[in-house]
Chain A
Amino acid sequence: MSETVRRRGRVGYLLLLPALLWLGVFFVIPFYSLMATSLYDPGGSDFRGYRMAWAWGNYSEVVHAYWPELVRSLVYGAVATLLCLVLGYVLAYAIAFKAGRWKNLMLVLVVAPFFTSFLIRTLSWKLILADDGFVVNTLQAAHLLGADGRLLATPVAVIAGLTYNFLPYMVLPLYASLDKIDHLLIEASGDLYANPFVGFFKVTWPLSLPGVVSGTLLTFIPAAGDFINVKLLGSPNQRMIGNVIESQFTDANNYPAAAALSVVLMAIIVAIVLVYVRRAGTEELL
């Protein structure tokens, strides 16, 4: 392929300007507003107005009050991400190496279910995991669940929902990186008497790491911030941080507390991403 020449001059800036302005005004500046709001006087309200009070106490208060929800969000997000990695890897591997001429069709089928509304899909899970449904009855018959045991309103249901809903965010980057691997490398490991398992862990897995890193991040971030699955499949006992932020904004109208929690969530995620990406040694992803 011939080298694309990048033209210099004003046109590039003009083409870029509208998008950058939009992101600046509606993505970057809002983040400053969020941080400012998190330091407002907690006594303010929609009607009385808010006053900047540099109330750093908002942060210690929300972390003190809601640390169980914070920890739970990270744990649920991490478990769901791990499950997505297992399911997604199998699927992406099958598509990349075993699907042959059905590759494109399978890729289409991977995303197709996710064009149905997120909320409606999650409502379907509510039906699948319902108390006298097929899944619960089977588990009860197999004595894996007590006679009055249930799945809805338990962490199992919430994590199952998260895993299902964010699976495509895992499969697509995994597929992209598996598909790039040269089949000859894998065959070579076989020729050199590596058994398939050794071959996998020495060749395929390391080469797919960029996909693993971006897939796990793209799954973990929305999963940890989600509140829809808890609301539809869980109970107040499974409340995640998203539920708290949402209810503080919309029901309690406690903007400073909600904003402080949002900032805390974002800070935790940025920290996790930085540590994780550095550990995985794939900084070029960003």
Chain B
Amino acid sequence: MIGRWLRERIVLILGLVVLVYTFVPIAIVVAMSFNIPPSRNVYAFDRFTLDNWAHPCIGAEGMCESLGVSIQIGLLATLGATVLGTLAAFALVRHDFVGRSSTNLLIFLPMASPEIVMGSSLLALFVSAGFAGQLGFWTILVAHIMFCLSFVVVTVRARLAGMDDTLEQAAMDLYATPTETFWRVTFPLVFPGILGAALLSFSLSFDDFIVTNLNAGQTTTFPMYVWGVEGKGVPMAVNVVGTLMFLVSIVIVVGGELNNRRRARALA
């Protein structure tokens, strides 16, 4: 009996074990966000506190500034990459042009290049172009738009390619102008793809370290802050930020999923 029960579920159980494994470090991040370490240099759990949550910026010198920088860069990079990438995705799915396969290759390559190579190439460009002294906010932003762009194109393209265009044809048959059709039918249908691409861009930009570190000059983003304090004593407030990032993304993703279900049920 038990043998058969187990055999039917063994794969699911193993899958769940792997899933639990991926959450172990997250549990530690959450636990550490409520921790007072035994001493500044020892990264270990000692005593419970709410202080890290109440005053995250106190005792973590420079952390909140770096967070501000990361959020600004993240928002601007998301905006830039989403606009450029969405336009390109429309061109790829809806328009005919010469050089389709090389365009696809160019869009694929940044996703398949090691970050250290992309980062060092950009640095080489900035240095040869005489920008070595101006590395900072803008060079980071330029780099982030570059590596987010491909992910946006791929995400929005998938949404567009999987979309049935009968609704658009119906709109046209009912004498909607192309502009009306686009804004009232096409765009709302593609929007979930664009939103997903934007969220992906933000998280890629916010979390990037390797490319950023090479092109940042004196500017410090949040991952660079964490890198800098590692070894000198990591303030526990860093884990508050980690926990918040996790919670915010869970809320967004689960919210989106629930919304999808609601819609699917409404349509059915």
Residues of B within 8 A of A226 (CB): 116, 210
Identify which of A55-63, A90-98, A143-151, A205-213 touches chain B.
A90-98
**In whole angstroms, how far apart are the Cα atoms of A23 and B142 in the complex?**
10
Residues of A within 8 A of B132 (CB): 46
Question: B44 interface residue, CB < 8 Å from A?
Answer: yes
Q: Is chain A's binding surface mostly helix, strand, loop or mixed?
A: helix
**In whole angstroms, how far apart are the Cα atoms of A110 and B21 in the complex?**
10
Residues of B within 8 A of A128 (CB): 24-25, 28
| Residues A118 and B223 in contact in the complex (CB < 8 Å), given A128-B25, A228-B210, A250-B214 | yes
**In whole angstroms, how far apart are the Cα atoms of A20 and B104 in the complex?**
10
Interface string of B121-151 (1 = CB under 8 A from A): 1111101110010000000001101100110
Contact A228 B125 (CB under 8 A): no
User: Among the interface residues B95, B118, B145, B230, which one has the most CB atoms of the partner chain A within 10 A?
Assistant: B95
Question: A43 interface residue, CB < 8 Å from B?
Answer: no
Contact A265 B117 (CB under 8 A): yes
Contact B12 A255 (CB under 8 A): no
**In whole angstroms, how far apart are the Cα atoms of A217 and B112 in the complex?**
8
Question: B51 interface residue, CB < 8 Å from A?
Answer: no
| Residues A34 and B257 in contact in the complex (CB < 8 Å), given A8-B95, A118-B207, A127-B43 | no
Contact B124 A34 (CB under 8 A): yes
Contact B87 A112 (CB under 8 A): no
Q: Is chain B's binding surface mostly helix, strand, loop or mixed?
A: helix
Residues of B within 8 A of A33 (CB): 121, 124-125, 127-129
Query: Which of B23, B24, B113, B206 makes the CB contact (< 8 A) with A221?
Result: B113
**How many residues on chain B are close to A (CB under 8 Å)?**
97
Size class of the A contact interface (CB-based, 8 Å): 35 or more
Identify which of A64-72, A99-107, A181-189 touches chain B.
A99-107
Closest Cβ–Cβ distance, residue A21 to chain B (whole Å)? 9
Contact B122 A227 (CB under 8 A): no
Q: Which residues of A contact B (CB under 8 A)?
A: 1-2, 4, 6-9, 11-13, 15-16, 18-20, 22-24, 26-31, 33-34, 36-37, 46, 50, 87-88, 90-91, 93-95, 97-99, 104-106, 108-121, 123-128, 130, 164, 167, 217-218, 221-222, 224-228, 231-232, 241-242, 245-246, 249-250, 255, 258-259, 262, 265-266, 269, 273, 286
16 contacts between A and B (CB under 8 A): A4-B93, A18-B84, A19-B149, A23-B110, A27-B118, A95-B15, A113-B25, A115-B249, A116-B29, A117-B207, A119-B209, A228-B227, A245-B116, A246-B116, A250-B213, A255-B127
Given A4-B161, A20-B106, A225-B114, output 16 extra A-B contacts at Cβ < 8 Å.
Answer: A7-B96, A15-B91, A16-B92, A18-B88, A19-B85, A19-B149, A30-B124, A34-B120, A50-B127, A98-B12, A115-B249, A117-B242, A217-B112, A218-B112, A222-B114, A249-B123
